[in-house]
């Protein structure tokens, strides 16, 4: 369990480092903007960072560029130093899964902990006041977590407002509810379908990994990606399920998303470092 503190403590001028991990997702982005606009003295001290797995969508990099321009500060890029295929081999070709989340450990948490080292650090986390999740920070003793949105009572709608007033909502939210690797096993069926439609080459790559690695396991338990997508297409037809990718006709997709609640899945707790 991480140490926790509050904004009053964060304001104390001392030698502690201040860090904020930007995942490419909406909440961490909104938090960085919030700090800049509301707590400029903290913003000036914060080291913003992004942990790159090398398997992010190009929209994430575009969004990071926008964020850097708005923040007027560099977002430091961290990485595990090797690509996913290297780590996959090292894990005997076992695909990561919700149960075996070696990807998060190796490609996200370890680079973060290396970046922080043994320095006393305050880490800002974008969990909101209307959420019931913990969020991984670190169990390292030298890291203290602070949750400004919870302290200041900001909820989902506030986050959308902050983004709309500044850098906008990342484009991939049209069809995907999270940032992170294109092959992330936390994706829902319709998000895999979105990947196929918006990034067919990445969908093919995910299929290839599934075929050539995995020891018979698949990204989605018990189904190949072709089966997952076929099922999502059927659902679209049968139930008239409007996937996010095609729901933009009558209402702006940003509006639709703002009032949806289903992308804040508490099941994702340990993945917050990837997608908050
Ligand atoms: S985004 Fe998904 S696949 Fe990528 S590191 Fe996080 S949990 Fe693993």
* Amino acid 116: pLDDT: 94
37-87 pLDDT, tens digit each: 999 999 999 999 999 999 999 999 999 999 999 999 999 999 999 999 999
Query: What is the pLDDT averaged over residues 11-28?
Result: 92
Contacts of 223 (CB under 8 A, 6+ apart): 231
**Ligand 1 mean position to 101 CA, how many Å?**
8
Mutate to test the pocket of ligand 1, among 181, 272, 275 (most ligand atoms within 8 A of CB): 181
Identify the weakest region by mean pLDDT among 16-20, 45-49, 262-266.
Answer: 262-266
Whether the pLDDT of residue 266 is over 50: the answer is no
> What is d(CA 121, CA 49) in angstroms, rounded to the nearest whole number?
14
- Neighbour order of strands in the sheet with 17-21: 3-5, 143-146, 121-124, 17-21, 46-52, 75-79
108 lines ligand 1 (CB under 6 A): yes
169-221 pLDDT, tens digit each: 998 998 998 889 999 999 999 999 999 999 999 999 999 999 888 677 899 98
25 lines ligand 1 (CB under 6 A): no
> What is d(CA 113, CA 220) in angstroms, rounded to the nearest whole number?
30
107 lines ligand 1 (CB under 6 A): yes
- Nearest-atom number in ligand 1 for the CA of 274 is 6
> What is d(CA 221, CA 218) in angstroms, rounded to the nearest whole number?
6
Query: What is the pLDDT averaged over residues 12-38?
Result: 94
């Amino acid at each position: 369990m991480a140490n926790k503190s509050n904004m009053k403590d964060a304001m104390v001028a001392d030698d502690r480092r201040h860090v904020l991990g930007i995942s490419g997702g909406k909440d961490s982005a909104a938090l960085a903007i919030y700090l800049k606009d509301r707590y400029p003295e903290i913003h000036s001290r914060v080291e913003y960072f992004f942990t790159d797995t090398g398997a992010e969508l190009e929209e994430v990099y575009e969004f990071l560029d926008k964020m850097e321009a708005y923040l007027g500060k560099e977002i430091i890029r961290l990485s595990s130093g090797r690509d996913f295929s290297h780590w996959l081999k090292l894990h005997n070709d076992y695909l990561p899964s919700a149960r075996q989340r070696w990807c998060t450990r190796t490609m996200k948490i370890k680079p973060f902990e290396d970046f922080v080292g043994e320095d006393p650090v305050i880490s800002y986390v974008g969990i909101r006041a209307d959420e019931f999740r913990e969020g991984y920070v670190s169990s390292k003793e030298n890291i203290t977590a602070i949750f400004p949105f919870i302290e200041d009572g900001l909820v989902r709608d506030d986050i959308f407002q902050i983004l709309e007033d500044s850098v906008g909502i990342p484009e991939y939210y049209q069809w995907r509810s999270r940032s992170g690797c294109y092959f992330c096993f936390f994706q829902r069926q319709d998000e895999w379908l979105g990947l196929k439609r918006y990034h067919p080459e990445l969908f093919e790559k995910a299929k290839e990994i599934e075929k050539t690695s995995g020891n018979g396991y698949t990204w989605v338990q018990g189904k190949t990606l072709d089966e997952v997508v076929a099922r999502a297409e059927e659902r679209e037809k049968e139930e008239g399920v409007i996937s996010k990718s095609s729901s933009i006709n009558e209402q702006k997709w940003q509006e639709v998303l703002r009032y949806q609640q289903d992308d804040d899945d508490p099941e994702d707790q340990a993945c917050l470092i990837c997608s908050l």
